Chain A
Amino acid sequence: MRTHDTLDRAALVLGLVSVVSAVFVFVHGTFQLVQIGAAGLVVALVLGLLAVVGGWLDERTLMLAAGGGFLIAAAVQLVLLQGGSSGFLGGNASTFSLWLALGVGLIAVGVAAVPEATEESVEVTG
């Protein structure tokens, strides 16, 4: 598989992880891995879908936008926690950790260098 494809697939998977995390709006108790509130649900779905589309279309700008969005959401959640509550995002430190993961991951994928395709490498991998 070409580097380009693996990067796109990584962004797509990270986006899907965010979309799947939306299920924790309905999960409480022991198996609530991450706390997602109503506004957090919007973050998870909108930015997650943005990453999925970025990966699907091989569009680095969308990956970086989604990654930047997650990092901003994570930072806002951390500031809200400092105030002593979940705030309007409705998350906790686990939410911060998840969005940190998705933000860092998408930005790492978005800025990753893709080698120039040579005739030889296209022949081998294409």
Chain B
Amino acid sequence: MANTDHAVVTDHWMRAVPLLPSRTNRAMIAIVRIGVGLLWLQNVGWKTPPDFGRADPPDGLYLSTTYAVSHQVLAPYAWLVDRLVLPNFTFFAWMVLLVEAALGAFLLIGLVTRFWAVVGMVQTVVIMLSVLNAPHEWYWSYLLMLLVHMALFATAAGRYAGLDGVLRPSWQRSQSGLARLLAGVS
């Protein structure tokens, strides 16, 4: 009886599974991943060291960061930005540049994609908490960013026309801890 139930459930599950092996589906997942990679890659371009827009009048990343305080979304985050981020702005600005440049780089080539999809979700939430209430912002654009990173994670998008798909078999064969970790986050 149990075996029969299992067979029915499995059969139902197989029918419900989307057509990932389809060439069209794989191509579309790859296009989404590359598109999101290009989104980060292009938008890290307006983070301009060494002042990152900390001028009179403020501009660029500095102006966006101040929106977290002037148009607050979440009071504790606004407090954190006011007391910690803005007084140490140069350090945090460099961190933003490096994280977003790496997001663009790794999602573009599809390497360690599921890890970077999670980083993308976190960074999107940080951006949302800064600018969601700022003038002329469309909040759905940030929700879409969050959702698309979830999709990249759920589909392990780097395995389709990405380096994860090329390198993962050797990571899985390897006995080393690093290789197993890489296989786990790809």
Contacts and interface: CB of A to CB of B under 8 A. Distances in A.
Interface of A: 3, 6-7, 10, 14, 32-35, 81-84, 92-94, 96-98, 100-102, 104-105, 108-109, 112-115
A93 B166 contact: no
B166 A10 contact: yes
Chain B interface residue bracket vs A? 20 to 34
Given A93-B100, A94-B41, A115-B173, 9 more contacts: A34-B42, A35-B45, A101-B105, A101-B108, A101-B109, A105-B111, A112-B170, A113-B173, A114-B170
> Which residue, A33, A35, A115, has most C-beta atoms of chain B within 10 A?
A33
B38 interface: yes
B49 A108 contact: no
A33 B48 contact: no
A105 B101 CA distance: 14
Contacts of B104: 94, 97-98, 101
Contacts of B48: 81, 92-93
A33 B108 CA distance: 12
B166 A112 contact: yes
B135 interface: no
8 contacts: A34-B41, A81-B48, A93-B100, A94-B104, A97-B41, A100-B101, A101-B108, A113-B170
B174 A108 contact: no
Contacts of B125: none
Interface majority SS (helix, strand, loop, mixed), chain A: helix
B105 A93 contact: no
Nearest to B97: A93
A104 B109 contact: yes
B174 A113 contact: yes
B85 interface: no
Nearest to A13: B161
Contacts of B101: 93, 96-97, 100
A33 B170 contact: no
Given A84-B50, A113-B170, A108 B111 contact: yes
A27 B53 CA distance: 24
Interface in B31-54: 37-38, 40-42, 44-45, 47-51
A104 B45 contact: no
